[in-house]
Every structure is written in C-alpha cells, then in structure tokens.
Structure 1
Amino acid sequence: MKVEAISQDLLGAFQVQQLATPPQNMVGDFSTHLESIDNRIMSVAKGEQVELHELMIDIERAKLSLEYSVSMRDKMIDAYKEVTRMQV
C-alpha cells in the first residue's frame, strides 16, 4: 500500500466545504457519514482493499463532529437554564 501526502488543493477544498455546510444539514450528513464509515470498517474486517489513512481521517472527523455537537448541546442547555433563572 502506497501512502501519499494530502495535496494542498484537496485540503483547501475540504476546508471550504466544511465552512459552507449549514448546521441544519449537518445532522443528515453526519448519519450518512457514520454509515459510510461502518461499511468501510466492515470491508476492512472482511479483508477487502480499503484506504486505511482515509478511513482513519474520516473516523477522526466524525469524532470531532460528535464532540462539537455535544459541546453545542451543553452550551444551549446552560443558556436555557440561565433564561429560566431570570427574574421578570
């Protein structure tokens, strides 16, 4: 298996794509992304040819997305609690 470096134009295109994705579409994209990762992990388990470095990058991307979502949820809950504690 030959490992190649990620080109700068590919990296730049990924960053632009991530910034252009509105939050509403991230939920559906996240679930389809997880299904894709699961399918590729099953392919690795079966011994099929899979690019491992791309799989690891996708797994880390999903991990970061999940951590971001949990952090946003916690901040929203904290904000809700602050609003409910306000005296009118």
Structure 2
Amino acid sequence: MWTTYEIQQGDLQGLGFGLGLFYVGDRAGDRANTFEVPSYLITNAAIFYKRDAFRAALNFNNLFDIDYFESAFNRLRVHPGTPFTVQGTISWEF
C-alpha cells in the first residue's frame, strides 16, 4: 500500500510526501515445506519536489531498519532483506 500527498498551490507547490507499507506473509522456505520463512512488514517513505519538467526525490526504504528474510532456497541459503537505505534521484523530462 502506498499513498502520496502533493501541495497543489502556494509557495510550496510541487512539494510532496509519500508513505507506504509492504507486507509479506509466512511462506515455505523450500519446495519440500520443511521450514517456514517468517512474515515481515516494512515501511517506506519519500519526499519529492516537482516543477514543470524537473523532479527531485529522496526515497527512504525500510524506514525502521527491520531485520527480515526476503527469500530462501534452503535452510543454508536464506537471503536477508535490505537494511535502511536512502536513494536520491533527480530527473528532467524533455
């Protein structure tokens, strides 16, 4: 689930904020269902500014730095999820 709000008028027109939740339930860790990978819920957020063809944004992924397992191949190959990260982008459309 993801939602955004962008200021529509005034001096801060084009400034926006976003907030999202990403949930994955319990799932089998291997094809034989010998173990289960636990569920997780991570929170993401963003702040952005748009004006005409210009856009700049900061995205905050796994905002609360939750430890989670993204996937598994077997008991010895369980892949941890990405920790808290910040990604900045600037773009110009033409």
TM above 0.5, yes or no, is: no
TM-score for both structures, normalised by structure 2:
0.23
TM-score for both structures, normalised by structure 1:
0.24
